[in-house]
């Protein structure tokens, strides 16, 4: 009964007088979001997945999720259908829908694809980044350092800041479809990566991520595309190596 997703119906408060010639005040407000319920549920599940708050192998029930979010089963169906099409969720033939458990081979493939795609994004970002882009990256980097250096480390904040840092970089490349591709990769790899970081915040103490971020940031500042790619690849490879060591992957 938790009413988490309520304010949809009441969002249509706009009178919009019909017989009025358009004045300057009308177009001041851009097109209001008009987000559908299914999209909202999709976003909710996506953020839960990339944050690692849904563990691999965890089963989901359409009715349970619907009840938890205070909506009907219909929007949840749409959200799960979309995420299943992306491989972020999987629906077993007759059973329930669950978060996929990656095999070692699947994780290795995902890591290789991340190196290729996100490496390219880092190169392009180093070439195209504006000062405003760099400022955003710096801010998220500071947030990540603070969360990771705290005692004890704030794993949830570190996960969020790490995500924001990476996507601030990728958005500097100004390639929307590329960002969608990377989001899909994160959706698949997020559950293991960030579930682990959440459970084992000691990994942050090694500082390899902070070091890679520092090199990345400096490379972007110098517009050094190959160096940016190298730093990002180190960041991805270090995290992947740690996951492989812990051995939470299927045979």
Q: In the complex, which residues of this chain contact DNA (CB under 7 A)?
A: 8, 12, 19, 36-38, 60-64, 71-75, 77-78, 80-81, 91-97
Q: Which of 118, 128, 130, 109 lies closest to 229 in space, CA to CA? A: 118
Q: Which of 63, 175, 76 lies closest to 118 in space, CA to CA? A: 175
Which does residue 62 bind out of DNA, its own copies, none, counting CB within 5 to 8 angstroms by kind?
DNA
Closer residue to DNA (CB): 39 or 234: 39
SS3 sequence, the chain?
CCCCCCCCHHHCCCCCCCCCCCCCCCCCCCCCCCCCHHHHHHHHHHHHHHCCCCCCCCEECHHHHHHHHCCCHHHHHHHHHHHHHCCCCEECCCCCEECCCCEHHHHHHHHHHHHHHHHHHHHHHHHHCCHHHHHHHHHHHHHHHHHHHCCCCCHHHHHHHHHHHHHHHHHCCCCHHHHHHHHHHHHHHHHHHHHHHHHCCHHHHCCHHHHHHHHHHHHHHCCCHHHHHHHHHHHHHHHHHHHHHHCCCEC
Binding mask 27-56 for its own copies (x = CB under 8 A): ----x--x---x---x--------------
Binding mask 132-161 for its own copies (x = CB under 8 A): ------------------------------
Which does residue 87 bind out of DNA, its own copies, none, counting CB within 5 to 8 angstroms by kind?
its own copies
Closer residue to DNA (CB): 4 or 105: 4
Does residue 188 bind its own copies (CB under 8 A)? Answer: yes
Closer residue to DNA (CB): 2 or 95: 95
Site for its own copies in 81-110 (CB under 8 A): 81-82, 85-87, 93, 106, 109-110
Closer residue to DNA (CB): 65 or 225: 65
Does residue 19 bind its own copies (CB under 8 A)? Answer: no
Among 8, 48, 67, 77, binds its own copies (CB under 8 A): 77
Closer residue to DNA (CB): 82 or 199: 82
Closer residue to DNA (CB): 78 or 183: 78
CA 17 from chain center: how many Å? 41
Which residues form the interface with its own copies (CB under 8 A)?
Answer: 12, 14, 31, 34, 38, 42, 77-78, 81-82, 85-87, 93, 106, 109-110, 112-113, 116-117, 120, 175-178, 180-181, 184, 188
């Amino acid at each position: 009964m938790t009413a988490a997703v309520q304010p949809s119906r009441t969002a249509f408060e706009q009178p919009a007088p019909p017989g009025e010639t358009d004045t300057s005040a009308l177009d001041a407000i851009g097109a209001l979001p008009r987000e559908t319920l299914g999209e909202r549920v999709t976003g909710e599940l996506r953020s839960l997945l990339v944050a690692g708050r849904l563990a691999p192998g965890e089963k989901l029930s359409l009715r349970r999720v619907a009840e938890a979010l205070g909506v009907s089963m219909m929007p949840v169906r749409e959200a799960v259908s979309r995420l299943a099409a992306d491989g972020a969720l999987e629906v077993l033939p007759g059973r329930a829908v669950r978060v996929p458990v990656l095999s070692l081979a699947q994780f290795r493939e995902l890591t290789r694809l991340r190196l290729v795609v996100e490496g390219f994004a880092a190169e392009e970002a180093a070439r195209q980044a504006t000062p405003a882009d760099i400022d955003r990256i710096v801010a998220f980097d500071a947030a990540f350092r603070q969360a990771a250096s705290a005692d004890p480390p704030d794993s949830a904040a570190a996960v969020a800041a790490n995500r924001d840092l990476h996507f601030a970089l990728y958005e500097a490349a100004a390639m929307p479809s590329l960002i969608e591709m990377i989001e899909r990769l994160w959706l698949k790899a997020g559950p293991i990566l960030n579930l682990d970081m959440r459970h084992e915040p000691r990994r942050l103490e090694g500082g390899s991520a902070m070091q890679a971020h520092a090199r990345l940031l400096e490379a972007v500042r110098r517009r050094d595309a190959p160096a940016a790619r190298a730093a990002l690849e180190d960041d991805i490879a270090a995290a992947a190596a740690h996951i492989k060591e812990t051995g939470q992957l299927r045979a």
